[in-house]
A and B are shown apart, each in its own frame.
Chain A
Amino acid sequence: MTMTAMTPAPGLKMPPEGARLFAAPDPSQATHLATYGVIPDVTPAQLLEQVRMSGLTGRGGAGFPTARKLEAVTGRAVVVANGAEGEPASRKDAELLRRAPHLVIDGIEVAARITGAQEAYAYVRAEVVPNLRQALAERRPTVKITVVAATDAFVSGQETAVVSRLNEGPALPRFSRHRIFQRGIGDRPTLVQNVETLAHLGLIARYGGVWFASTGTPDSTGTFLTTVHPVTEPLTTAPTVWEAAHGLSLRQILTPAAGRPVQELQAVLIGGYHGTWVPLPVALDAPLSTAGLEQYGAGLGAGVLIPLASTACGLELTASIVAYLARQSAQQCGPCQFGLPELAQNFTALAAGRVGRGGVDAVRQSAGLVENRGACKHPDGTTRLVRSALRVFEKDVTLHEYGRCLARIGEPYGGAR
């Protein structure tokens, strides 16, 4: 197919306005093509140049520049679409695979073209395997794609765990002296990309990098998927998945979710269980972007937002998350295996107001014992959450050391139990 600047190639369509990933009203291939058109026939070098211009970064949590990852993988490469979404507070990858599976497949094909890969895997939550299989049956992919159901565990989505599982090993993080982009599946150079990142890639291949960066902020381009939790009974009631433009403020995104005046929120956990607590209402007008969240020591991660009402106890909620994370240790690395349960125990004692003065020092000490001491980022992600809680709920920490609680301060003895 040849293209000139004057006559658009048949099948090319104008990019959708507003929602990008969620622009198609149903997941069928016919609707997908009617919404987005076909991917123009351009060279791998041209595709890569568009990705560079787009400023796209990984949407799985780490936020690494996608173009640099694509460049690093050369030779007989393998592409892996990572939709394991082991983060229990996140729903966006499953939602994307339900609503726009063809965009993800497009992205796999584009990534394979750029890297020269002949083979690809889609490692996704078991519940959306049928959605992806049905989409694959509707088309003839340009690269062989094997669908594998992900193991349902927090650490199963870590890159080394994904590669281990696809190498017929356990879905556990692995220590290796080689990087995955050098030696991954079958010892071949391997590109592991989050499914949302790949879906954006499918759109950049159509409309270009300039279009992609036309929304968002200069340092965080484009849109992102976010899983927003309700304020009442967070983590137990189903969250909502939205597509939002980077740069939107916390106020804008939390107002419809909160179900109450946003001034009545005391904090929001950004990025999920390995995320960072950000204080409210001071940060209400912080834009959701790298620069906007930097001053709070936070990053968007995989886009999870868990708001906390001023009537709830942030330390209690954090304690329950830390206890969960300790149970999710793969039990492979000693400091994580023994240190996380101790950290959880110390944090729970603090949150329950059982420890008296010095309780917070015990938490800090056990956090220091696990940092930087594991094959994966599970210990470090857990201490990031813990340290942000001690910072943001500082006043409450002091009250808890005296057996009281800010959320129950109106009760007799300041909520002492």
Chain B
Amino acid sequence: MTRALIVDWTACEGRGLCAGLLPEVLTQDKWGYPQNLTPGPILVPDELRGPARQAVRMCPRLALRLESE
């Protein structure tokens, strides 16, 4: 099951850690903020659940959470 990665944009400062951990779904825009590679919500497939959780845990701004976790 894919889950949405939710960004608290008021907290995010574009440090880029999440994009480094999830290059399959995320990149950084020109200001450094996480940008989805496909339009719409940031969807994390099952096989990337591990790095996604790591991104949530390690985000220096605590700006991430996985939907329904």
Query: A residues within 8 Å of B by Cβ?
Result: 173-175, 177, 332-336, 338-339, 368-369, 371-375
- A373 vs B39: C-alpha distance in the bound complex, in angstroms? 11
| Nearest chain A CB to B53 CB, angstrom units | 16
Known: A372-B40, A372-B41. A333 touches B10 (CB 8 A): yes
| Residues from chain A with Cβ under 8 Å of B12 in the complex | 333-334
| Residues from chain A with Cβ under 8 Å of B13 in the complex | 334
| Nearest chain B CB to A157 CB, angstrom units | 18
| Nearest chain A CB to B41 CB, angstrom units | 7
Known: A174-B10, A374-B9. A334 touches B31 (CB 8 A): yes
Q: Does B24 contact A (CB under 8 A)?
A: no
Binary contact readout B21-52 vs A (1 if CB under 8 angstroms, 0 otherwise): 00000000101110100011100000000000
Q: Which chain A residue has the least Cβ–Cβ distance from B42?
A: A372
Query: B residues within 8 Å of A by Cβ?
Result: 7-14, 29, 31-33, 35, 39-41, 65
| Residues from chain B with Cβ under 8 Å of A369 in the complex | 29, 35
Known: A334-B31, A335-B29, A373-B33. A175 touches B14 (CB 8 A): no
Interface centre among B8, B35, B39 (most CB of A within 10 A): B8
Instruction: Decide if B9 touches A175 in the complex (CB within 8 Å).
Output: yes
- A332 vs B10: C-alpha distance in the bound complex, in angstroms? 5
| Residues from chain B with Cβ under 8 Å of A368 in the complex | 39
Instruction: Decide if B31 touches A375 in the complex (CB within 8 Å).
Output: no
| Residues from chain A with Cβ under 8 Å of B39 in the complex | 368, 371
Residue among B8, B32, B33 making CB contact with A375, cutoff 8 Å = B8
| Residues from chain B with Cβ under 8 Å of A375 in the complex | 8-10
| Residues from chain B with Cβ under 8 Å of A336 in the complex | 9
- A173 vs B13: C-alpha distance in the bound complex, in angstroms? 17
Jot down 21 A-B pairs with beta carbons below 8 A, ordered by A: A173-B10, A175-B8, A175-B10, A333-B9, A333-B12, A334-B9, A334-B12, A334-B13, A334-B14, A335-B29, A336-B9, A338-B31, A368-B39, A369-B35, A371-B39, A373-B9, A373-B33, A374-B9, A375-B8, A375-B9, A375-B10
- A327 vs B40: C-alpha distance in the bound complex, in angstroms? 26
| Nearest chain B CB to A165 CB, angstrom units | 15
| Residues from chain A with Cβ under 8 Å of B29 in the complex | 335, 369
| Nearest chain B CB to A63 CB, angstrom units | 22
| Residues from chain A with Cβ under 8 Å of B8 in the complex | 175, 375
Instruction: Decide if A335 touches B10 in the complex (CB within 8 Å).
Output: no
Known: A177-B65, A372-B40, A372-B41. A332 touches B31 (CB 8 A): no
Question: Which 5 pairs from chain A and chain B are nearest by CB?
Answer: A333-B9, A175-B8, A332-B10, A334-B33, A175-B10
- A375 vs B10: C-alpha distance in the bound complex, in angstroms? 7
Q: Which chain A residue has the least Cβ–Cβ distance from B14?
A: A334
| Residues from chain B with Cβ under 8 Å of A332 in the complex | 9-10
Instruction: Decide if A335 touches B40 in the complex (CB within 8 Å).
Output: no
| Residues from chain B with Cβ under 8 Å of A175 in the complex | 8-11
- A174 vs B8: C-alpha distance in the bound complex, in angstroms? 9
| Nearest chain A CB to B35 CB, angstrom units | 8
Q: Which chain B residue has the least Cβ–Cβ distance from A374?
A: B9
| Residues from chain A with Cβ under 8 Å of B31 in the complex | 334-335, 338-339
| Residues from chain B with Cβ under 8 Å of A339 in the complex | 31
- A372 vs B7: C-alpha distance in the bound complex, in angstroms? 10
| Nearest chain B CB to A279 CB, angstrom units | 26
| Nearest chain A CB to B17 CB, angstrom units | 15
Interface centre among B12, B13, B41, B65 (most CB of A within 10 A): B12
Instruction: Decide if A335 touches B65 in the complex (CB within 8 Å).
Output: no
| Nearest chain A CB to B63 CB, angstrom units | 9
| Nearest chain A CB to B55 CB, angstrom units | 17
| Nearest chain B CB to A136 CB, angstrom units | 35
- A375 vs B7: C-alpha distance in the bound complex, in angstroms? 9
Residue among A177, A335, A371 making CB contact with B9, cutoff 8 Å = A335
Q: Which chain A residue has the least Cβ–Cβ distance from B40?
A: A372
| Residues from chain B with Cβ under 8 Å of A173 in the complex | 10
- A175 vs B8: C-alpha distance in the bound complex, in angstroms? 6
| Residues from chain A with Cβ under 8 Å of B11 in the complex | 175
| Residues from chain B with Cβ under 8 Å of A372 in the complex | 40-41
| Nearest chain A CB to B57 CB, angstrom units | 16
Q: Which chain A residue has the least Cβ–Cβ distance from B32?
A: A334
- A353 vs B35: C-alpha distance in the bound complex, in angstroms? 31
| Residues from chain B with Cβ under 8 Å of A374 in the complex | 9
